[in-house]
Amino acid sequence: MEQLDYSNQAAWTRISGDKQSPIALSDTLAIKNNFETVLSFNYKHLANYVRDTGAGIEVGLEGTANIGNRPFSLKQFHIHTPSEHTINNIAYDAEIHFVHAASDGRLAVVAILVQSGATSQTYDAVLAHMNKTEHFEIPIDDIMPASKTYYHYIGSLTTPPLTENVEWYVLKQPVTLSVEQLNHLKTFYSHNNRDLQALNGRPIISSN
Amino acid sequence: MEQLDYSNQAAWTRISGDKQSPIALSDTLAIKNNFETVLSFNYKHLANYVRDTGAGIEVGLEGTANIGNRPFSLKQFHIHTPSEHTINNIAYDAEIHFVHAASDGRLAVVAILVQSGATSQTYDAVLAHMNKTEHFEIPIDDIMPASKTYYHYIGSLTTPPLTENVEWYVLKQPVTLSVEQLNHLKTFYSHNNRDLQALNGRPIISSN
């Protein structure tokens, strides 16, 4: 067995960039989880700001999430149009990303798919405070689906620096924005969805 | 705000390689965990093989670990001499890595530091089966410290492909091999420890 050359470590090759997001989720590929990761969210109903980051509309909101008995802090949420993930080859009209961090730096993103339908009070509140840094009340509940069933995999941020080591939980049940709200959202970004990335053998886990 | 160019995604820069292992652990840098991740191990006492991988001596052993209420499967353990991590600027004589994977592909390595002292029955069993694929009994207990207190951070594998997204739990209490056993180990690898890597702002968490 040829030994690894510890005297020339700079020459070691490093594999990275093969666990990126978004991906095409599908029930054909997904494996059923025999160990349920329970998700629960306790977000504030008072937002801190709304800003256009250049990658999307971002809302400053604090709160906590319990992901598999581990505490995470909500950092912000932002919106992509159309959706970044697809489910069974279906793209949705938009996708909301709630970005969380744990005390060890681990990132977890909860993705909420959006289809056209009922008007969202939350979106109206966001729109009314675009590019303002004043605090404002935000309902939040109408962009959080009742069912917390999800697809889970390990991926990356979908905008630079595209950091890997992100736990993704893409909720199966979509929420709605009205057609008018979706059209309005597209006046900011007609398409700020990253291309689908290769799965590269990663497991996709489906909760019940 | 200049918008991210979604029509030229290949030009997006990706940051990676800044969360590598091993690192210098220290009580000065470490933050106390206000949320305890409990570790428990249930390893078999029957090993499958011992082999020289070119990066170290590796023992095929199965078992399970419960890391913060999440199930992991033990894949193998292997030995580095001298230690890869340092604690408060102290390097140990060796470091044993128990490599685990979860169903979503997440990796967790439990690192056991080794100092010279009492003879390890486990090491003698490993030595007697070097490069054999037959099953053999292995005590294991004498290379698992009684205390499961740890330093935790997010890092990488320490040999190629140096994959990031690895949860490290470096146990604080060392175990022992005899001086003769350590000297014997060095006849295989005089030093198969990767250089210390930059922390790059990552939090180090210290359990109680």
The candidate with the shortest Cα–Cα distance to A175, out of A77, A102, A101, is A77
Structure token digits, residue B30: 């470490």
Cβ <8 Å between B14 and A17: yes
Residue A153: which CATH number?
3.10.200.10
State residue B142's pLDDT score: 95
B84 by Cβ neighbours in 10 Å (0-12 / 13-18 / 19+) ranks as buried
What parts of chain A have a pLDDT lower than 70?
1
pLDDT of residue A132: 85
Q: Which helix (H) or strand (E) holds B181?
A: helix B179-188
Query: Which residue in chain B has the smallest CA separation from A37?
Result: B70
Cβ partners under 8 Å of residue B96, min gap 6: B77, B78, B79, B80, B111, B112, B114, B143, B175
- What is the DSSP code string of B112-163? EEEEE-SPPHHHHHHHHTTT--S-EE---GGGS-S---EEEEEEE-SSTT--
Average pLDDT over residues B117-146: 95
Inter-chain CB proximity A53 and B1 less than 8 Å: yes
CB contact under 8 A, A105 and B162: no
| Residues 6 or more apart whose Cβ sits within 8 Å of residue A90 | none
Residue B16's pLDDT is 82
- For residue B165, give the nearest of A3, A165, A195 by CB distance: A165
Any alpha helices (H) in A94-204, and if so which ranges?
121-128, 179-188
Q: What pLDDT is recorded for position B108? A: 98
Mean pLDDT of B121-148: 94
- Give, in degrees to the nearest 5, the angle at Cα A97 between A91 and A101: 145
- The predicted pLDDT at position B29 comes to 95
Which of A31, A103, A167 lies at the smallest CB-CB distance from B205? A103
Q: Does A152 fall in a domain? A: yes
A78 touches chain B (CB under 8 A): no
For A188, the domain range is 24-206
Residues A93-108: pLDDT tens digits? Answer: 999 999 999 999 999 9
Burial (CB < 10 A; 0-12, 13-18, 19+), residue A128, is exposed
Between CA A81 and CA A76 the distance in angstroms is: 17
Instruction: Report how far apart, in Å, the C-alpha atoms of A152 and of each of A25, A173, B103, B154, B164 are.
Output: 9, 14, 11, 20, 19
Say whether pLDDT at B18 is over 80: yes
Q: How many domains does chain B have?
A: 1
Residue A15 inside a domain? The answer is no
Helix, coil or strand: residue B187: helix
Tally of CB atoms within 10 A around A7: 6
Size of interface A-B (CB pairs under 8 A): 129
Spatial CA neighbour of B101 closest among A154, A162, A198: A154
Q: What is the pLDDT of residues B57-86, one digit of tens each?
A: 999 999 999 998 899 999 999 999 999 999
Closest CB to B69: pick one of A53, A69, A163.
A69
Considering CB atoms only, which of A15, A33, A103 is closest to B161?
A15
CB contacts under 8 A, A 139-198 vs B, are: 152-154, 159-165, 167, 189, 191-195
Whether B68 has its CB under 8 Å from any CB of chain A: the answer is yes
Average pLDDT over residues B172-178: 98
- The distance between the two most distant Cα atoms of chain A, rounded to a whole number of Å, is 66
d(CA A88, CA B128): 53
Cβ burial B153-179 (10 Å sphere, 16+ → b, else e): bbbbbbbeebbbbbbbbbbbebbbbee
At residue A166, the 3 state secondary structure works out as strand
Which helix (DSSP H) or strand (DSSP E) does residue B184 occupy? Answer: helix B179-188
Mind listing the pLDDT tens digit for each residue in A75-134? 999 999 999 999 999 999 999 999 999 999 999 999 999 999 999 999 999 999 998 889
In a domain? residue B162: yes
Residue A59 lies in a domain: yes
Looking at residue A107, its amino acid is L
Q: Picking from A203-207, B14-18, B196-200, which range would have the lowest pLDDT averaged per residue? A: B14-18
Query: Mind telling me how many Å the CA of B55 is from chain A's nearest CA?
Result: 5
A31 falls within a domain = yes
Tell me how far apart the 2 most distant CA atoms of chain B are, in Å.
Answer: 66
Backbone angles phi, psi at B145, to 5 degrees: -65, 155
Asked whether residue B29 is domain-assigned, the answer is yes
Rounded-to-5 percentages of helix, strand, coil across chain A: 10, 40, 50
* Res A156: pLDDT: 96
For residue A191, tell me if it sits in a domain.
yes
A132 within a domain of the structure (yes/no): yes
This model of the complex carries an ipTM of: 0.90
